[in-house]
Structure 1
Amino acid sequence: MNNTWQGYNSSLFYDELLTSSGNPRTAARGMINFLQRLPEEEINERRSAAELAIRDMGISFTVYTEGGNIDRNWPFDIIPRTITAKEWSKISLGLQQRTRALNCFIDDIYNKQSILADQLIPADIVLESTNYKPQCRGVSPRYGAWAHICGSDLVRNSNGKFYVLEDNLRVPSGVSYMLENREITKRVLPELFENYSIQPVDDYPSKLYQTLASLSPRETRKPCIAVLTPGIYNSAYFEHAFLAQSMGAELVEGSDLHTGDDDCVYMRTVDGPVKVDVVYRRIDEDFIDPEVFRQESMLGVPGIMRAWKAGNVAIANAPGSGVADDKVIYAYVPDMIRYYLKQEPLVDSVKTYLCMIEKDREYVLSNLDKLVVKPANESGGYGIMVGPHASAQTRREFAALIENNPRNYIAQPTLSLSTAPTYIDHTVAPRHLDLRPFILQGKDTWVTPGGLTRVAMTKGSLVVNSSQGGGSKDTWIVEGN
């Protein structure tokens, strides 16, 4: 064993690749043995090769700061994460189940509202949510699917069991990095792909295309699909361009589209207007149509909501789908599965305390040093307080926030997130991580084999978001184990 692995402690948390006694898990055995035999100089050379590939491929993300926007190269760890295909098949079924229930919920609350009438969920939680859009009432998209692309974040606790931490149904991002992680790993560790049977992820663009094409209002062999981006200054612009190119779709900004008198959406081209069948929106719904939402928006397309309601264009994800993104709504997803599908959840959610409920609020305020507190509608790791790592002053500030607006906060136990070997500063050390698989729902439902593994690169940190200094690694779903 080379010195980079000396002192690695896999006994403090559930480790993805090594048992508590330090032996490789079955799915990781070949990879661990290979990496431990590599000379230290060669491991560092391969890490440097990965960084060079990231620069050459232009893989970047944008961090917004008070001083301006900073483009950074994608932070990547060369040691893959492995999960057995047998274990993943159960998770995949659970994610499909969850996404179907969430789509049933969204379709219900914009139409019959039966789940509210039956008082399974308090009506005010839904109807007063900032993400509930009354402008979407009475619409039922094709196949009853509103959130066509869902990113549900998974974590593994100290018992090694997967839990869903949250659902992302507005504009989930990160899938391009999942694909690029695989390409980089193939470049720097090609030997491992000769000896492992790893489920591929590179068919995601074709699966996404099939999902979007199934939504087309026109029966046409090749529908016109447009990826609507806010533009080059958006943090996920790399992904917008990547997916458009990979699918053979059009990459457009709001000014490239217009709505005709026939309530159809058209794309401006040098050869004249071209009818658009499906818009894969990568902008927040509040900016998508100044006629309906923010009047000052220059990012959207005036009249696109009229075209969508008329059934002349499909929008993925549909406007209004963000109502199920609310972290308060998250607490009710197991009940949704039982209500709509008449099934028990196949993947558990994390225990969640709703600060709007007096009993829960009292518990949270008395145990802020043990809990993670989250705002209901933030993303990217912003606005979160990790109680055990927070100062007394921060806990007091959050207590005031909760008391001032209890509806806006939930709390969850501080999980002992799983770790995985991560190559940092010329040594291998355990770092906490999560996993974001992507679930597609249109005519059919499909789950990525694995997903985007995000890593907290700072020792002891539980925050994995790239905007907060996190990194990423390739995720292998390994057959035959």
Structure 2
Amino acid sequence: MMPKIQFDSYDTTGFFDEMVMEDHSIQPHYQIFKERIQKMGWKRLNFLQHSADRAQLSLGMTFNVYSDNQGVERILHLDLIPRIISGKDWAFLEKGLKQRIEALNLFISDLYNEQKILKDKIIPKDLIFSGEYLKECEGLKPPQNVWTHISGSDIIRDGDGRFYVLEDNLRCPSGVSYMLENREILKRTFPEVFEKLNVRPVQDYSHHLRDMLESLTPITPATIAVLTPGIYNSAYFEHSYLAQQMGAELVEGRDLVVEDDIVYMKTIRGLQRVDVIYRRVDDEFLDPKVFRKDSLLGTPGLFNAYKKGNVVLVNAPGTGVADDKAVYTYIDKIVKYYLDEDIILPNVPTYLCGEKKDLKYVIENIANLVIKQTDASGGYGMLIGPKATKKEHEEFRAKILENPRNYIAQPVLNLSRVPTLTEGSIEGRHVDLRPYILYGKDIKIIPGALTRVALKKGSLVVNSSQGGGSKDTWVLDK
């Protein structure tokens, strides 16, 4: 007979736990959920976890890991214990994210037009032009002057319980389909808890997304297409899922053709004009006539059609200039410059290896820092100093000294933890948070998020490609 589910011996030492406090009392907003799982017991909880895994497979919620030569599709493991966020905490996050995305959008617009922030020497020109700046976008004015239509900032809580932004994702942020499908699975698993807690809904995300896309063109009804690199892309499930949910067309670059600077989609009835493209293809692959000539993922002439205002691209090309991890270090100055406000959601303290003083500190203290490549994602190009070997320290020192601009460093943070099901027990695992922001006529933040969890004990890396999983995120009503 399995023992009852208890939290008396749950380890909270040295970390901020979002459910269990240091004296082993339960946070008020978790109390109802805790009582429910204790009432159901271990056998039922394990059965429900197994059912959730099967549901993910049957729904096709899988992804590819590019570094895995076996080419095996995996599920993003969904842990049944949700991450619950109080209404008060969410109101703070909403306010901070709206401020941040508004300032970043103004920043991108300025960089590709007047460049006032560079002329006023708030940010070094070299930092911008040596990064993800696209000269081809100079002079562009997207509809409603919105560049960052869909974004997902990664947020963590430190040992003090405060929220910090770890990085901004302004190009093609992924994961929202997992947020939506995780919710469907958890609603079926704990229906009575949802009702008692007044969890705010997320299932209308696809409607909000389509409304935002339609607001960018005067044409009604608008023809919307989701541009995917194809079935071998790691996020293909998400591309097809969002297209289906929105009633949009799912297309690859070869399905589109440009004639007289108008974009058309090939159909069995002939060519059909496309008005808005939600593209999940990186800038450099969009148009072989303008960017990479060897790209087979884009469509020749697409960028020129966009420049002439004949099609809307979401997100706008060029947004990568603002989610460069080196530019991230200037976000507090960007907010102050464009909005004349102090930043609400602060950054994690960051050392810019392109600065001589910071470079010296990083090289001398590499064993105690997290090193990140400024143009990498998915947990790649990263070193966690305390968990790395001396040989790895030396290898990264050499990489940094060879190209300092390409690296930043941050202190090792005690990421907050949330109880997670393991083999026969419940243990704390580190988490981060990716809320999703839609920006059309106004800024809308979906009251939910993708919580990524480091499933390996002691690991701080939550990325799915590095063995991480996910949790449903319950935002409680105010």
Q: TM-score per shorter chain, which class?
A: over 0.9
- CA distance in 2 between counterparts of 1:369 and 1:112 reads 42
TM norm structure 1: 0.97
Q: How does 1:42-53 map to 2 (within 5 A)?
A: 42-53=44-55
Structure 1 segments, 4+ long, off by >3 Å, are 3-6
1:394 aligns with 2:396: no
- CA distance in 2 between counterparts of 1:353 and 1:143 reads 35
Q: How does 1:84-123 map to 2 (within 5 A)?
A: 84-123=86-125
Q: How does 1:277-356 map to 2 (within 5 A)?
A: 277-356=275-354
- 1:469 partner letter: G
Mean Cα deviation higher: 37-46 or 274-283: 37-46
- CA distance in 1 between counterparts of 2:219 and 2:360 reads 57
- CA distance in 1 between counterparts of 2:71 and 2:137 reads 34
Give the C-alpha shift of residue 66 in structure 1: 5.2
Paired residue secondary structure (1:226): strand
Give the C-alpha shift of residue 6 in structure 1: 5.8
Paired residue secondary structure (2:73): strand
Partner of 2:248: 249
- CA distance in 1 between counterparts of 2:346 and 2:84 reads 21
Give the C-alpha shift of residue 450 in structure 1: 2.5
Paired residue secondary structure (1:10): coil
Q: Is the 8 A contact 1:11 1:19 kept in 2?
A: no
- CA distance in 1 between counterparts of 2:267 and 2:63 reads 29
- CA distance in 1 between counterparts of 2:76 and 2:433 reads 17
Q: Over residues 331-371 of structure 1, what are the superposed CA-to-partner deviations in whole Å (9 max), with x where a residue is unaligned?
A: 01111111011111111111110001011111111111211
1:141 aligns with 2:138: no
For residue 35 of structure 2, the aligned residue among 20, 26, 33 is 33
Segments of structure 1 that go 5 or more residues without pairing to the other structure are none
Paired residue secondary structure (1:231): coil
Give the C-alpha shift of residue 10 in structure 1: 2.1
Q: Is the 8 A contact 1:4 1:426 kept in 2?
A: no
Partner of 2:455: 457
Segments of structure 2 that go 5 or more residues without pairing to the other structure are none
- CA distance in 2 between counterparts of 1:56 and 1:192 reads 25
Partner of 1:69: 71
Q: Is the 8 A contact 1:337 1:344 kept in 2?
A: yes
Q: Is the 8 A contact 2:378 2:465 kept in 1?
A: yes
Q: Over residues 174-233 of structure 1, what are the superposed CA-to-partner deviations in whole Å (9 max), with x where a residue is unaligned?
A: 0000001101111222221121100111111011111111112xx233211100001111
Paired residue secondary structure (2:448): coil
Q: Is the 8 A contact 2:201 2:447 kept in 1?
A: yes
| Residue-pair matches, total | 476
Q: Is the 8 A contact 2:8 2:24 kept in 1?
A: no
- 1:250 partner letter: E
Q: Over residues 295-346 of structure 1, what are the superposed CA-to-partner deviations in whole Å (9 max), with x where a residue is unaligned?
A: 1111101101101100111100111111111100000111111101111111
- CA distance in 1 between counterparts of 2:328 and 2:125 reads 15
TM norm structure 2: 0.98
- CA distance in 1 between counterparts of 2:5 and 2:271 reads 63
Partner of 1:466: 464
Partner of 2:268: 270
Q: Is the 8 A contact 1:277 1:313 kept in 2?
A: yes
- CA distance in 2 between counterparts of 1:199 and 1:7 reads 32
Give the RMSD, CA atoms, in angstroms. Answer: 1.2
Q: Is the 8 A contact 1:49 1:188 kept in 2?
A: no
Give the C-alpha shift of residue 59 in structure 1: 1.0
Q: Over residues 111-137 of structure 1, what are the superposed CA-to-partner deviations in whole Å (9 max), with x where a residue is unaligned?
A: 1111000000000110121x2110111
Q: Is the 8 A contact 1:13 1:416 kept in 2?
A: yes
Q: Over residues 362-409 of structure 1, what are the superposed CA-to-partner deviations in whole Å (9 max), with x where a residue is unaligned?
A: 111111121110000100010111111111111111111111110000
Paired residue secondary structure (1:199): coil
Evaluate the alpha carbon distance shift between residue 66 and residue 15 of structure 1 in structure 2; reply closer, same or farther with a 3 A threshold: closer
Partner of 1:171: 172
Q: How does 1:210-225 map to 2 (within 5 A)?
A: 210-216=211-217, 219-225=218-224
Give the C-alpha shift of residue 37 in structure 1: 2.7
Give the C-alpha shift of residue 68 in structure 1: 4.2
Paired residue secondary structure (1:108): helix
- CA distance in 1 between counterparts of 2:389 and 2:98 reads 40
Paired residue secondary structure (2:267): coil
- CA distance in 2 between counterparts of 1:196 and 1:4 reads 21
1:375 aligns with 2:373: yes
1:233 aligns with 2:232: yes
